[in-house]
Structure 1
Amino acid sequence: MSLVNGDLEAARRAIADQVKFDILTESHEADNEKARQEVARCFISDTITGRIPTKEMYLYASRATLGDDVYHEPSTLALEAHMAKLTGKEAALFLPSGTMSNQIALRTHFKQPPYAVLCDHRAHINTYEAGGTAFHSGAHTYPVIPANGHHITVEEVEAHAVLDHNIHYAPVELISLENTLNGTIFPQDEIVRISEFARKHNLKMHLDGARIWHVAAETGTSISELCAPFDSVSLCLSKGLGAPIGSCLVGPKDFIHKARWFRKLFGGGMRQTGILAASAAYALTHNFPQLPRVHALTRKLEAGLEEAGVRITSGAETCMVFFDPSTIGVSLPELVEAANQLPNPIKLGGSRLVVHVQTSDEAVEDLVALVRRLAEEKKAAGFVYDAAKASGQGRQNIYVKVKN
């Protein structure tokens, strides 16, 4: 049934009233500032820095070009060209996330099944990408547990890499390494040895370099040298560097051309990405130089926890500390709750503490002070470390309350 002009206009206005939506509130600016203050006291992950970009990054991004990345977006193309040059590779591709970057890399490398990827058992592609390697690529995974507890070695790669033509096994066609892995630096000389093994057996090499920036900042090794042993590298722009969204996948020109096709197939072809590329450019320029301060602050946090009696399970090589507070009689849930109940709360996510470019010195000092206070309270309540009981239970530490 058609409407006469007057009724049609009234209907349109009614629909427009239903459709309209104002996301801005009177407290919008204040809420943003509060979020920036909160992120300075959050140790859950460095991904939160991208969620709360600084005012300066916001302003810089607002000046980006307006284009369409599926067709032609000047700022994004400039970012990709820079990332290719920086890593010493032929081409680069901007992607929404590190998971997509890794998964598209694997899918692009693999040609005809059966095939498999070999990696550290703790690798992101093995533990935190929702089984994407099997789902997207139909690939088997051989996860390796490093005997040294830090990184896999070429000897372990050689021992676990299935290279023969026994039809009972999926042959390894790709070795995927991660640097950093849980904040630890993979020794470059060992990476080179593994890459030489890979070349000898015609295997591809991929690097999950989500936090490769930390390696360069800590060791003084150039990004291109760190990436040289690999056929493809995924570099995250939103973790340690603090851009809102995105990773870059780099590699040979033909490889990236095919990866761009898969990006479209995966639903990752974005449109107006100029503002995201500009944010990444700002992060590369202004946030990368802050990483040495981040590492120093992480070491300060580690030292404070150790002085308070907390056991460090993985030390501060870059931006992460893993710890066990049971050595002071405190459980992780107890510590998380106590931190959250501070007048100026601190956010913790468990046994991993991540320091980032927006972490404040005050947050580190307050967290260490809280741990010391809890340790003193437990000691005053009669809890003492019982090494013998800990050994008997096969645990490294345990606190018990001494009877009066």
Structure 2
Amino acid sequence: MAPAMSGDFLKGRDRVTDPAKLDVIAINQAKDNEQHRSIVSRSFVSDTLTAPSKEMYEYAIQASLGDDVYHDPNTAALEAHMARLFGKEAALFVPSGTMSNQLAVRTHLKQPPYSVLCDHRSHIYACEAGGIALNSGAQAIPVIPSNGRHLTLEDIQNFIVLDDNIHFALTEVIELENTLYGSIFPQDEIIRISEYAHKRGIKMHLDGARIWHVAIETGTPLDVLCKPFDSISACFSKGLGAPVGSCLIGNKEFITRARWFRKAFGGGMRQTGFLAATAAFALSNNFPKLTSVHQLAKRLERGLLEIGVEITVRTETCMVFYDPSSIGTNYTEIAERAERLPRPLSLGGSRLVLHIQTAEQAVDDLLGVLRDLAQEKKAAGFVKPCSKS
């Protein structure tokens, strides 16, 4: 029987605990969440903005309650499934795609000096806060593709460091990204690069944050797409619409070492069953929806072309890149007009990103904004400049 607590003790305890109490759930939280999902459905800023559905949460609330640093059944099941799906031996669930990429580099690299070769636009180089240098002490070799779209074997050969000249850091990892800026990296070129790298003992890492789009668009299984790589990072929280998480995938020895580094990086998590369940729900229910996303993106592209808007990169998956100067307007004017609609649209400049929650009406409304602006500019005397031959 627990000992009785005195009134003074209880008052003292309450003085400590009462200030800590917090209720973050709004009175109308369910309504607010639906409103947020509506806002997301009209945003073209990024597919990272997708909001978990009620069905996803209802599934996830049933998840296991283990501790992932030791063992959580649902997380372990997700990792085993991802390994099989990608044709590798093991996988590791991590909080983010950035951590997954950085763990891959740190795990592959053993003894400096060393370098990582990648596209100059790649997320691992341009958008991960200098993580290659910070976390691994490695030099990045950012390469501008000679064809303007994707790296080729010839690009790799021109910049890779292979000899023992003490002035340079040997290249030990080649990192590719698929998709990159919404464009699909040709598989035959990936194979050429991989064969060249592996003959020289160089590791291949894939930032496959949006590899799901490649698989859907090309009809190629994920294990086939990823066979040329020693490690893969695959994201659940972009195109697939889960709230948090990515998986790092590779052989058993690699993942065992990466798990150690995950702990050192502060990425060891506890009750991850809930997050693993949202990822499983996304794989089962949201992955197939990417077909419709691509169709909607291409419908948007066709609509822009019909209005006279220049498309700067042909749409292959979920991103549309455009230049509105061809109809006499600019991104700021478009964004301001879109914000003033009865149901506002959110835009992010030259890139329009569609996702599983993008509403078809949002696409129609965006085309309406561009159509109206084109007509207004024409009426005001704007004449599209003749293209240079």
Measure how far apart 1:17 and its partner are: 2.5
Q: Is 1:132 matched with 2:131?
A: yes
User: How far off its partner does 1:25 sit?
Assistant: 2.0
Shift of 1:13: 2.4
TM-score normalised by structure 1 residue count: 0.93
The aligned amino acid for 1:23 is V
Q: Deviations over 1:196-222 (max 9, x none)?
A: 100111111000000000000000100
Match of 1:264?
Answer: 263
SS of the aligned residue for 2:42 comes to coil
Offset at residue 100 of structure 1 (A)? 0.3
One-letter amino acid of the structure 1 residue matched with residue 146 of structure 2: A
Shift of 1:71: 0.7
What SS is found at the alignment partner of 1:313?
strand
What are the Cα deviations for residues 128-182 of structure 1, in whole angstroms up to 9, with x where unaligned?
Answer: 0011001111111111111111111111111111101111111111110000000
> SS in structure 2 opposite 1:41?
coil
% same residue: 62
* Equivalent in the alignment of 1:253: 252
Q: Displacement of 1:269 after TM fit?
A: 0.5
User: What is the alpha-carbon distance in structure 2 between the residues aligned to residue 13 and residue 95 of structure 1?
Assistant: 38
Correspondence for 1:24: 25
Q: Which residue number in structure 2 is paired with residue 199 of structure 1?
A: 198
* Structure 2 counterpart SS, 1:383: coil
| Matching residue of 2:8 | 7
Counterpart position of 1:353: 352
- 1:153-172 map, 5 Å: 153-172=152-171
Where structure 2 has 5 or more consecutive residues not aligned to the other structure, the ranges are none
Question: 1:217 corresponds to which residue?
Answer: 216
Paired amino acid for 1:302: E
CA distance in 2, matches of 1:301, 1:132: 36
**CA-atom RMSD, angstroms?**
1.3
1:400 is matched with which residue?
none
1:91 correspondence with 2:90: yes
1:105 aligns to what?
A: 104
Residue of structure 2 in register with 1:377 after alignment: 376
Q: Corresponding residue for 1:175?
A: 174
- Give the AA of the match of 2:75: T
SS in 2 for 1:77: helix
Partner of 1:399: none
Report how far residue 387 of structure 1 moved. Answer: 3.5
Aligned to 1:239: 238
Moved more, 284-293 or 322-331: 322-331
Matched, 1:53 2:52: yes
User: Structure 2: which amino acid aligns with 1:36?
Assistant: R
Residues of 2 paired with 1:165 and 1:11: CA distance? 69
Corresponding position of 1:321: 320
Q: Which consecutive unaligned segments of at least 5 residues does structure 1 have?
A: 397-404
Shift of residue 8, structure 1, vs aligned partner = 2.4
Task: Please name the residue that 2:279 is paired with.
Answer: 280
Deviation of the 1:281 alpha carbon: 0.2
CA deviations over 1:352-400 (Å, ceiling 9, x no partner): 1110000111111111111101111111122222348xx6xxxx9xxxx
1:27, distance to aligned residue in structure 2 (A): 1.4
CA drift of 1:26 comes to 1.7
What is the match of residue 36 of structure 2? 35
Aligned to 2:228: 229
Quote how far apart the aligned CAs of 1:246 are.
Answer: 0.4
CA–CA distance in 1 between the matches of 2:180 and 2:224? 18
SS state at 2:254 partner: helix
1:319 to partner: Cα distance: 0.4
Q: CA deviation at 1:5?
A: 3.2
1:145 aligns with 144
Report the alpha carbon displacement of residue 279 of structure 1 after superposing the two structures with TM: 0.2
Counterpart of 1:6 in structure 2: which amino acid? G
Write the letter of the residue equivalent to 2:372: R
Report the counterpart of residue 333 of structure 1 in structure 2.
332
So what's the TM-score if we normalise by structure 2?
Answer: 0.97
